[in-house]
Structures are given as C-alpha cells and as structure tokens.
Structure 1
Amino acid sequence: MKISRGLQGVYEDAQLIAQRYSSDYLETWHLLLAFVINPDTVAGAILAEYPADVLDYERAVYMVMGRRYHEELESFFFLPSSKRVKELQVFAEKIAEIVKSKGLGTEHIFMGMLLDKRSTASQILDQVGFHFEDSDDKVRFLDLRKNLEAKAGFTKEHLKAIRTMTKGGKPKQATV
C-alpha cells in the first residue's frame, strides 16, 4: 500500500528518535514521539490540540521505560522495525482498506495505536495525561480516539467495520 508523505516523514523522524534513545529496533513509541513533532500530519495535529508538549512525552518515556533522549549521535543507520511495529502497520493497512483510503497515513497508524491499550505508546499516552478511566478533570483516552475519528473522517460504518476486525471478525470495507 502507498504511504503518505506525512507518514514517510514520521517514519524518518522515528528512526532518528529511536537512535537518540539508543534503541535496537523502531518501536511504536518512537512513532508516537514522531507524531508529536510533526503537527502538519493528521495524528500530529490531533496531539497538538492538547496541552502536552514534546518534553512531557520525553518525561513520560523516562517514567514508563527509564530511557533518556541523547542529543548527540555518533552515526546514523536505519533500524529494523520491531514485531509490534510490523503488526501495527499490517493492522493500520487494514484500517486504511476499510475506510477506502488511497494510501496509508498517520491517522491509520495512530488509530491502530489507540486500539492497542497494551502497547508502550499507549502507556506513554496514559503517563502524559490521556487516561483510560473516566474522570471529570482528566482527558480520556476515548476522547483522543474520538477526536481522531472525527478529523480523519471515519464514519459510523467505518468504525463498526474496524471494531469487527479488532474482535477477530473478517474486515469488511465500508460502503460510502
């Protein structure tokens, strides 16, 4: 599937982020941090609407994983994607097919992340302030997902097909 220019830029930035955290693989949380620094993408624009900035995300990475960002890089090379990133991309491609997108975009990758509450990216979002539980004074994870759904133009029919797919059903393309 064709990849949008915005997502290509996110993948490039995520590679750099992964190396600055001395990672061996490209992980979902590297993509999340790349969304944060790319507000011109759908996922980045949605995250930019909330008060957390890149430093909040870096602190969350330290709290969740004990990892620190390193300013200096001795060399740069492309890291292989982790199993989780490969699975996320396959899942995101299915989402893109369901919504009849011409290509894979940040909105599809981000939706895949938000539907996987066990991922490191989700743990970092929780640490930043997007909470799974309902609370009057906190932003809910669900609110972030609903914002994405609205901005990406996902219809109720799309969401129903995506939910069916996440529950192990066969994904059906939405008819719009």
Structure 2
Amino acid sequence: MFERTRTASICVTAGTALITSLLLVGGAKAAGLPDGIDAEGKTAVLSLHAEGVQIYDCKAGLDGNTSWQFREPLATLLQDNKTVGRHFAGPTWELADGSSVVGKVAAQAPGKTATDIAILRLDVVSHHGDGGLSKVTAVQRLDTHGGVFKGTCAQPGAIHVEPYSAEYVFLK
C-alpha cells in the first residue's frame, strides 16, 4: 500500500513540475529566426530538448536508381535531462501526461551546416488528450544538429538511422 501511495505522489509531483514549467515558459520568444519560422503573435508554452534519430529507407526511384529517402523521426523528449515524452512519425509529439499533437510543415529554413536537418515551423493539425500539449497550435524545431544522411544505397529496403538533436518549442 505504501509503495502505491508513494508512486502516486511521485506522479503528482512530476505532473506539477511539468505544469509549472509550462506556465514559466510562457511569453518566451526566440530571436533572430528566419522569416516564416518565427511564429509572431504566439506564446511559447513549453520547450523540450530532443535526442534521437532520423530514419532513412533505401528506395528505387522512377529512374531505377536507389537513394536514401527520409522515412520518420524517432526521438526522446527531455526536460532537465529527464524523459518527458517522445517524438515519432506524423510528425507527432507525445508527453508522458498522454497529450499529443500532430504537425504539418508550414515553413522551413536550412540548418546551420549541410549535415543539420532544417529548422521548421509546423502548424498543429490534430490534438489528443487534455495535458500539456492540449492548447498548442504550432511547433518550432530549432537548433538542429545532425540528422541529414545522403549518398548511394545498394540494397532497396535497407534502413539507415542518423543521429540528431534539436530543441522543440511548443506555441499557442
């Protein structure tokens, strides 16, 4: 009985910390963003660090040549070095509180180097749950490192995972 109460208490404490961070981040705005990436008029409600991979498939094109084509992201969402959610195909972001959003690319700009995936602004096209992401209307992918993979592939159906990291800012 004590263990169940202690676990519930830890969950409530973690949930309170997440809600507090949502409230404290409000009003933050990234400076110096390219046109279209800056979501003017929106307020940041949460900022999370992502560590993961960009997954590529080796596919044959119409010309018969094979190339690596982006399939999906797969990343852990972190706050203060603690896992608070995940990011996966959709693109979808899901928090431990059960809330999630799916986005659609609205604007993009190149990453800092040729091996960094693009920075993005995505408009939210669907929501699930009543947690921390329930009021989010846009997502920015900023400060990207890695994730780009190019080159030839010999075997259609082969998969390559390329490490990346980014900062995701959730806006309302």
TM-score scaled by length of structure 1: 0.26
**Larger Rg over CA atoms:** 2
More helix by share: 1
Which protein is richer in strand relative to its size? Answer: 2
